[in-house]
């Protein structure tokens, strides 16, 4: 098993280019099923999760051609409708392909995605919405089969603004008869990106970014080319890396409008940020102070930034209180931080973080994607050497992470195992 080895304490500074968004790319790749033709995607991050989506598309009969800066997906010859169990288990968000399959072919077979590293992650909101759209669902021996003759638009009130359920309903409804309305939809920017992609394909989706989305079914969707939005969580990760190292960095190809709560919290703790078109400058000269954070659905503070921000708070003056409202098991990385000298107490949804003067290098294990990135931030400022195992988690979501970190001056290497 490969691991990262980091020698902490080097001065970091410079420029980093943000990659395409993982969470926008995944549903857009699933949406490529809908035109039964060619889609050319630019700015797809080269990460494990997008690779897995390509593997699934290929297993269904699609083709995926990777060129230097684009990926060409052809779904003209899709002839299977079952998502392989081993791939489904590896990536929970592959459930988003179900919406693509149902929207185009009115059938999909997949296995229950089960538990995962940050919580149980059920899919009952997806299934309830499918049923409302007239899709029959039968469950046997862990397999779920969804099928119907036709899909007719309906009004769907989501119990919770689930990102995946919102995206699945949009995908299922693009080629339906009539109009589907989603109330209490998730408002994440990645859903706007999905809407823009689908509309470029000829779909009629409006309202993404608000909690009321309308999808007017159309008969056909055409070939399309599309440039995926920048990754807001990667942007936030590098901003926090600058903050924890008291560095000056230029974060390029970033959209500040998508990360308002992150920018606000960084300013609240004492960072200086300058937002320009497509880039953010951060300068951290003074001592930073504690802050309280609650994760919420967008436009609230994102749960995906919680672990990285908690790590930053471990070395600022004072006590911070963090409440994780989205996932029930998203503090496992804090045990690893404790091994590095952090003072964190967990009580249910709440983490109480007492700032310490120094973190110390240790042997630690990534517990999930963002928790893994958080350990890299900790290692960058720790005294001595930090070895991080289970880096496969980190490779799921950060493109060229080590190269980008080395470019900023971090002493990090991969030891191949």
Give the interface with ligand UD1 as residue ranges (CB under 6 A): 23, 26, 93, 119, 121-126, 160, 162-165, 186, 190, 303-304, 326-327
Nearer to ligand UD1, 16 or 26 (CB): 26
Place of tokens 């190292």: 245
- Choice between 126 and 265, CB closer to ligand UD1: 126
| Residue of 387, 388, 37, 370 whose CA lies nearest to 224 | 37
* Widest Cα–Cα separation across the chain: 64
Nearer to ligand UD1, 122 or 178 (CB): 122
- Minimum CB distance to ligand UD1, residue 12 (Å): 26
Compute the least distance from the CB of residue 309 to ligand UD1, in Å: 14
23 versus 75: smaller Cβ distance to ligand UD1: 23
Q: Give the C-alpha separation, 137 to 144, whole Å.
A: 7
Specify the residue, 31 or 249, whose C-beta has the smaller distance to ligand UD1: 31
Question: With respect to ligand UD1, which residue has the nearer C-beta, 159 or 274?
Answer: 159
Which C-beta is closer to ligand UD1: that of 333 or that of 361? 333
CA distances from 337 to 24, 59, 233, 362 (A): 30, 40, 20, 9
* Active site (catalytic) residues: 116
| Six token digits for residue 93 | 């968000």
- Supply 73's token pair: 């997906």
**Cβ 186 to ligand UD1 shortest distance, Å:** 6
Q: Kindly report the number of other CB atoms within 10 A of residue 191's CB atom.
A: 27
Instruction: Specify the length of the chain in residues.
Output: 417
**Closest approach of ligand UD1 to the CB of residue 78, in Å:** 22
Q: Please, which residues bridge with residue 208 across strands?
A: 210
Q: How far apart are CA 239 and CA 216, in angstroms?
A: 39
The nearest distance, CB 110 to ligand UD1, in angstroms, is 14
Query: Cα separation of 367 and 376, whole Å?
Result: 12
Beta-bridged to residue 352, according to DSSP, are 321, 345
* Closer residue to ligand UD1 in complex, CB, 133/316: 133
CA dist., res. 239 & res. 271, Å (int): 10
């Amino acid at each position: 098993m490969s691991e990262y080895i980091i020698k902490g304490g080097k001065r970091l500074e410079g420029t980093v280019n943000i990659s395409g968004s993982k969470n926008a790319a995944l549903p857009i790749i699933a949406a490529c099923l809908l035109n039964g033709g060619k889609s050319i995607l630019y700015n797809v991050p080269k990460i494990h999760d997008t690779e897995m989506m390509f593997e699934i598309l290929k297993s269904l009969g699609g083709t995926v051609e990777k060129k230097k800066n684009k990926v060409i997906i052809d779904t003209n010859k899709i002839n299977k409708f079952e998502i392989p169990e081993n791939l489904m288990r590896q990536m929970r968000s592959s459930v988003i392909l179900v919406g693509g399959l149902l929207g185009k072919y009115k059938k999909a077979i997949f296995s229950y995605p089960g538990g995962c590293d940050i919580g149980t992650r059920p899919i009952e909101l997806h299934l309830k919405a499918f049923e409302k759209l007239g899709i029959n669902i039968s469950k046997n021996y862990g397999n779920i089969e969804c099928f119907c003759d036709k899909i007719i638009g309906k009004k769907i009130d989501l119990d919770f603004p689930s990102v995946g359920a919102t995206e699945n309903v949009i995908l299922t409804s693009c080629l339906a008869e009539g109009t589907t309305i989603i109330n209490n939809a998730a408002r994440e920017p990645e859903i706007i990106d999905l809407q823009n992609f689908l509309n470029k394909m000829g779909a009629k989706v409006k309202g993404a970014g608000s909690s009321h989305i309308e999808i007017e079914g159309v008969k056909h969707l055409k070939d399309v080319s599309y440039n995926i939005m920048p990754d807001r969580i990667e942007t936030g990760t590098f901003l926090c890396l600058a903050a924890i190292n008291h560095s000056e960095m230029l974060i390029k190809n970033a959209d500040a409008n998508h990360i308002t709560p992150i920018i606000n919290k960084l300013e609240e703790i004492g960072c200086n940020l300058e937002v320009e078109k497509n880039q953010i400058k951060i300068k951290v000269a003074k001592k930073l102070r504690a802050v309280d954070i609650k994760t919420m659905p967008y436009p609230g503070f994102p749960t995906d930034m919680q672990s990285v921000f908690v790590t930053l708070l471990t070395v600022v003056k004072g006590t911070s209180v963090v409440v994780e409202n989205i996932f029930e098991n998203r503090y496992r990385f804090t045990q690893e931080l404790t091994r590095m000298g952090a003072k964190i107490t967990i009580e249910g949804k709440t983490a109480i973080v007492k700032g310490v003067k120094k973190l110390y290098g240790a042997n630690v294990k990534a517990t999930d994607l963002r928790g893994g990135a958080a350990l890299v931030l900790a290692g960058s400022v720790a005294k001595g050497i930090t070895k991080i195992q289970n880096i496969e988690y980190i490779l799921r979501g950060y493109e060229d992470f080590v190269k980008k970190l080395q470019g900023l001056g971090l002493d990090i290497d991969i030891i191949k195992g």
